């Protein structure tokens, strides 16, 4: 187990390092930052001043080492547009995005888990095909389209929920549903597939031959092994929800990381965009690592690569 943990931690650190390098290079590939900051029509002297002021005249490797060292201490630079530290701006908006993401993944799992189990129990029947059709429809529907449909239904027609803002739980219901509908299809398919394999396994047939109740066989024996891939996919989907919140937060005017990133892109606020890529990707890596650790607890064979 110690060797497995060491390998996973080293792998996560290597990926985080690669992410930091890509995040840094994205800023450089966007063009001459000093010229962009100075604006059109600025004289060469002012451009040179900005280049020295922000350290853009130093070697690229030195710039990266300086930026990475500051990022490790929580210093992500200063926003060009807002004029405040990027870390402060993100810290103020992170709780809203996390709240939205957690609520979305909970709703998605709550709906997808029973549907996937039911489809596996009714494999190749009409209910199974209906569940698969629901999953396919959810996968094909863009998140912005489902957001507008929810607004039309619950806000404009029935006037049950507020359209924008994040002042209460009611404000987050439609955004979380829109994100959950986008995450559900993958969770339904992986649950159905895992349960189908588990139900067809020898140990489940043995459990049934011993006369155990169907509920015990499904929950205690089959579901435990089916949860291994589900945990990994749920972690990936949660990371995608955090990244995909840009669209939803913009539509519902929620002042979270997604909406903040959209504002930064529209204002060419490069330090904020750079930090957004780094933060969201880091969350993605850490969630994947957490999923592997949770899988170790669900099924110890996972550490040996023997889990079904």
Q: Rounded to the nearest 5 degrees, what angle is found at the Cα of 272, between the Cα atoms of 257 and 260?
A: 30
Q: Where are the domains of the chain?
A: 2-58, 90-300
d(CA 167, CA 186): 30
d(CA 35, CA 16): 30
Per-residue pLDDT of 48-79, as tens digits, reads 887 887 787 888 888 889 888 988 888 988 88
CATH class of 90-300: mainly alpha
d(CA 171, CA 151): 11
What is the pLDDT, as a whole number, of residue 166? Answer: 81
What is the pLDDT, as a whole number, of residue 300? Answer: 60
Can you give the pTM of this predicted structure? 0.81
pLDDT band at 308 (very low <50, low <70, confident <90, very high): very low
Q: Is residue 282's pLDDT more than 90?
A: no
Judge residue 255's burial from the number of C-beta atoms within 10 Å of its C-beta, 0-12 exposed, 13-18 middle, 19 or more buried. Answer: middle
d(CA 192, CA 302): 20
Per-residue pLDDT of 164-193, as tens digits, reads 888 788 999 999 999 999 899 999 999 999
Contacts of 250 (CB under 8 A, 6+ apart): 258, 259, 262
């Amino acid at each position: 187990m110690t060797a497995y943990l060491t390998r996973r931690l080293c792998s996560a650190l290597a990926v985080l390092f690669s992410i930091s390098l890509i995040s840094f290079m994205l800023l450089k590939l966007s063009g001459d930052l000093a010229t962009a900051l100075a604006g059109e029509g600025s004289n060469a002297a002012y451009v040179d001043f900005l280049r020295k002021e922000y350290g853009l005249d130093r070697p690229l490797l030195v710039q990266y080492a300086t930026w990475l060292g500051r990022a490790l201490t929580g210093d992500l630079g200063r926003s060009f547009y807002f004029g405040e530290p990027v870390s402060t701006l993100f810290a103020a908006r992170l709780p809203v995005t996390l709240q939205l993401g957690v609520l979305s993944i909970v709703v998605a799992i709550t709906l997808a888990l029973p549907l996937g189990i039911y489809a596996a129990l009714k494999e190749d029947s009409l209910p199974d095909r209906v569940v698969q059709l629901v999953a396919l429809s959810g996968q094909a529907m863009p998140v912005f389209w489902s957001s507008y449909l929810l607004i039309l239904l619950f806000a404009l027609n029935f006037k049950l929920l507020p359209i924008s803002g994040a002042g209460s739980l009611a404000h987050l219901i439609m955004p979380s549903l829109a994100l959950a509908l986008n995450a559900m299809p993958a969770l339904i398919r992986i649950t159905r597939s895992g349960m189908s394999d588990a139900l067809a396994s020898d140990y489940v047939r043995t459990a049934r031959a011993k006369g155990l109740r169907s509920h015990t066989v499904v929950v205690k024996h089959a579901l435990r092994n089916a949860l291994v891939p589900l945990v990994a996919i749920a972690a990936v989907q949660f990371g995608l929800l955090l990244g995909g919140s840009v669209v939803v937060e913009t539509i519902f005017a929620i002042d979270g990381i997604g909406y903040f990133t959209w504002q930064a892109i529209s204002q060419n606020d490069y330090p904020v965009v750079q930090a957004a890529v780094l933060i969201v990707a880091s969350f993605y890596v850490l969630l994947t690592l957490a999923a592997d650790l949770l899988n170790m607890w669900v099924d110890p064979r996972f550490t040996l690569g023997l889990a079904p």
